[in-house]
Chain A
Amino acid sequence: MKIKDQFRFILQNMKKNKIRVFMTVLATAMGCAFLIVLASVAFGLHDSIVSDMLENRTINEIEVVGSEEGQGITDQDIAKFEELEGVRAVTRQKFVQQDAVYSIDGFEANAPTVAAHFPSEIASGVELAEGRLPEAPNEVVVGHHFIPSLTPAEGNPDEFYNEEGLIKEELQFDGDVIGQTFTMEIAKTDGDQETTQEFDVKIVGVMKAPGREWEWDQYVYITDDLLGELEAFTGTPGAALMDPSTFEDVSAEEVPYDQVTVIASDLESVKNVSEQLEDQQYMSYSIVNEMEQMNTLFTIAKAGLIFIGTIAILIASIGIYNTMTMAVTERAPDIGIMKAIGASPKVIKRIFLLESSYIGLIGAAIGIAAAYVISILVNFGLPLILEAAFNEEMPAGLQFSSIPPLLIVIAVVICLLVTILSGLRPAKRATEIDVLKAMRREI
């Protein structure tokens, strides 16, 4: 019997019981759509998070926390890091351990101060919005948010801010900061008494705004030399506001960096560099590590959701089993006649299996179409609902549901497998129909 004829046979048979077949297809479609939509959430969120991570510059950064013995990173270590294969730059920063007060023309700001190695910062991808890098020891670069944080030195601080928590426009510092000289006030203590000293710093550059809206860069980036001057004044490492006598020795060479970041030349190198660092007994951390963990987590989540979805299809398969069993029972006399004439059991089995897988396939097709529609609605509607409910804007590009081809393949395979399995027994029963009994209408 030709496949084409088997198919025509199936269609004829299905037409005889349109409503029953339709209901079964509907149940299968619902199961399939349920599986896809459910799993699509894990796929969508995973995609969103990964693309979010990849957009971030920090993706090929490896933060080196220290050696495994608990020692900090010094210039010696940094020289080693720069030798490693696949390293583009090594940024290192020492924080000034007190909030310095910067002031100019009746404006002032408390700002965190950090000593950075500017060539490696630039090599790592940091960019200046305007100006240039420091050349002289007292030249500094300020973060994008440094200027907006300047407030009038006089007056009631409570009145500086508007309803949104920002400094009122008329009170903001306007004018060009490049080339301006600020005074930087640093305090020191000898245990009892605090004294302050003013240092002149000249702003020569302003950093570009950070990649994300919520990131806040109010730092003042100073040179190593200036940090040295500050430390000489306070007598403490990192110019900490502490009694110098509690420290043993202050030689700049031995003070470890507060933050060391190795920037790999590309994403592929991150793993390699991480491993080399590990081999050399350094403790490091990169987003790639985190991503691997996250991928595992999402894979488990996806598998779990697909499993739950499969249960829905299994439930639908009960319907298919029922439909096929009834079809076999109803058609038993016809099957008996066909067997008598010379239809082989194989052909009969194939016809019924084909019928149940056909139901599964149509169900899957409808289910996939429905899942796409639901997915689009979810991606479009859910942010609107959440925004209305929480009065907060959703991050752009956030996708709740995504249906990759892989998910479609998985769903179709599961759907077909389940429907074929559920058609197996009825099909077998059809082959076992006794010709004589069927012809006597005893079944």
Chain B
Amino acid sequence: MIDINQLSHHFTLGKKGDLTSLSVLENISFHVRAGEIVTIVGRSGSGKSTLLNLISGFIRPTQGEIIIQDQKVSEFDESEFAAFRLQHMGFIFQNFQLIPSMTAFQNIELPLILKGISEQARKKMTIEMLKKVGLENFSGHYPSELSGGQQQRVSIARALVLEPPLILADEPTGSLDSETEEDLLRFIQELNKEMGITFLIITHDDEVAGIGHRTITLADGKMVESGVFS
């Protein structure tokens, strides 16, 4: 599913004439098989988010290649990557990233609109998704009218609505209490089992890391471990 080959990334800081280079990732290589749940752990600042952002195409690697579903996405241009994301990736963010001026329904519908799906089909798929995350009674609610857990479920529904084979999550439980966190983890495992969706999840949380079939540990931009979480 995902192939990372000798990926390095450094940020350039400072003003013109006084540039410093900050190396964040060094020579990372790993492989994620389809249907796996892989968790990424590491201390704050170790480069976890940077790694996920590279895979998502939000930033471009300084070196190395990223291959997702046999496509060398690290060579895509912005439009190609956008189309690829829409088609193949779902995202779950720590702070949900819902559009505040849109209702739960409209937020979930958004990827379908971007894909150009007809209004009728859209409505059906969105309602189905709302049911799946147990929010059928909240379809007209704006994000500000939903609890944190409900918002996260809307964002998961949005990530799932186009049925992508891969879901990337950066600290998905970071804003949730432990009970909602458990719900979410159960849901992720369910989706993984039933639909074979591959998950790549960044976390600080041992419990979250525990659901991974495999865990990648980063330290100071280097991969120090890849194995079953213990």
Given contacts A1-B116, A347-B114, A439-B93, contact A339 B99 (CB under 8 A): no
Instruction: Determine which of B84, B87, B97, B158 lies in contact with A439 in the assembled complex, contact meaning CB atoms within 8 Å.
Output: B97
Instruction: Determine which of B86, B101, B116 lies in contact with A341 in the assembled complex, contact meaning CB atoms within 8 Å.
Output: B86
Measured between beta carbons, the chain B residues less than 8 angstroms from A334 are 99, 101
Measured between beta carbons, the chain A residues less than 8 angstroms from B97 are 337, 340, 439
Q: Is the CB of B58 within 8 A of A341?
A: no
Measured between beta carbons, the chain B residues less than 8 angstroms from A435 are 58
Q: Give Cα distance in the complex from A342 to B110, angstroms.
A: 10
Given contacts A334-B99, A337-B99, contact A345 B78 (CB under 8 A): yes
**Secondary structure type dominating chain B contacts:** helix
- Is residue B56 within 8 Å, beta carbon to beta carbon, of the partner chain? yes
Q: Which residue of B lies closest to A340 (CB)?
A: B91
Report the minimal beta-carbon distance from B165 to chain A, rounded to whole angstroms: 14
Q: Is the CB of A340 within 8 A of B85?
A: yes
Interface band, chain A:
20 to 34
- Is residue B34 within 8 Å, beta carbon to beta carbon, of the partner chain? no
Measured between beta carbons, the chain B residues less than 8 angstroms from A5 are 113, 116
Measured between beta carbons, the chain B residues less than 8 angstroms from A344 are 78-79, 82-83
Mask, A159-178, CB within 8 Å of B = 1, is 00000000000000000000
Q: Is the CB of A345 within 8 A of B79?
A: yes
**Secondary structure type dominating chain A contacts:** helix
Given contacts A1-B113, A338-B114, contact A345 B58 (CB under 8 A): no
Measured between beta carbons, the chain B residues less than 8 angstroms from A343 are 82, 86, 114
- Is residue A80 within 8 Å, beta carbon to beta carbon, of the partner chain? no
Q: Is the CB of B158 within 8 A of A341?
A: yes
- Is residue B191 within 8 Å, beta carbon to beta carbon, of the partner chain? no
- Is residue B29 within 8 Å, beta carbon to beta carbon, of the partner chain? no
Q: Which residue of A lies closest to B164 (CB)?
A: A342
- Is residue A54 within 8 Å, beta carbon to beta carbon, of the partner chain? no
Q: Is the CB of B111 within 8 A of A342?
A: yes
Which residues of A, 155-212, contact B by the 8 Å Cβ criterion? none
Which residues of A, 1-21, contact B by the 8 Å Cβ criterion? 1-2, 5, 9, 12, 16
Mask, A296-325, CB within 8 Å of B = 1, is 000000000000000000000000000000
Q: Is the CB of A340 within 8 A of B58?
A: yes
Measured between beta carbons, the chain A residues less than 8 angstroms from B59 are 436
A-B contact count (CB 8 A): 59
Interface band, chain B:
20 to 34
Instruction: Determine which of A1, A436, A439 lies in contact with B114 in the assembled complex, contact meaning CB atoms within 8 Å.
Output: A1
Measured between beta carbons, the chain A residues less than 8 angstroms from B46 are none
Which residues of B, 59-94, contact A by the 8 Å Cβ criterion? 59, 78-79, 82-87, 89, 91, 93
With a 10 A CB-CB cut-off, give which of A339, A340, A439 has the most chain B CB atoms: A340
Instruction: Determine which of B53, B82, B93, B98 lies in contact with A342 in the assembled complex, contact meaning CB atoms within 8 Å.
Output: B82
Q: Which residue of B lies closest to A5 (CB)?
A: B113
Q: Is the CB of A341 within 8 A of B79?
A: no
Q: Is the CB of B114 within 8 A of A342?
A: yes
Measured between beta carbons, the chain A residues less than 8 angstroms from B56 are 340
With a 10 A CB-CB cut-off, give which of B82, B84, B87, B111 has the most chain A CB atoms: B82
Measured between beta carbons, the chain A residues less than 8 angstroms from B85 are 340-342
Q: Which residue of A lies closest to B113 (CB)?
A: A5
Measured between beta carbons, the chain B residues less than 8 angstroms from A12 are 101
Measured between beta carbons, the chain B residues less than 8 angstroms from A339 are 82
Q: Give Cα distance in the complex from A2 to B79, angstroms.
A: 17
Measured between beta carbons, the chain B residues less than 8 angstroms from A342 are 82-87, 89, 111, 114
Q: Is the CB of A341 within 8 A of B53?
A: no
With a 10 A CB-CB cut-off, give which of A1, A12, A341, A347 has the most chain B CB atoms: A341
Q: Which residue of A lies closest to B107 (CB)?
A: A337
Q: Is the CB of A338 within 8 A of B78?
A: no
Q: Which residue of A lies closest to B83 (CB)?
A: A344
Report the minimal beta-carbon distance from A354 to chain B, rounded to whole angstroms: 15
Could you write out 12 A-B pairs with CB less than 8 Å apart? A1-B115, A2-B116, A9-B113, A340-B85, A340-B97, A341-B110, A341-B114, A341-B158, A342-B87, A342-B111, A344-B78, A439-B97
Which 6 pairs show the lowest CB-CB distances between chains A and B?
A: A342-B86, A342-B85, A344-B82, A344-B79, A435-B58, A5-B113
A interface, CB within 8 angstroms of B: 1-2, 5, 9, 12, 16, 334, 337-347, 435-436, 439
A341-B86, A342-B86 given; name 17 further pairs at CB < 8 Å: A1-B114, A5-B113, A5-B116, A16-B101, A338-B110, A338-B114, A340-B56, A341-B114, A341-B158, A342-B83, A342-B87, A342-B89, A344-B82, A344-B83, A435-B58, A436-B58, A439-B97
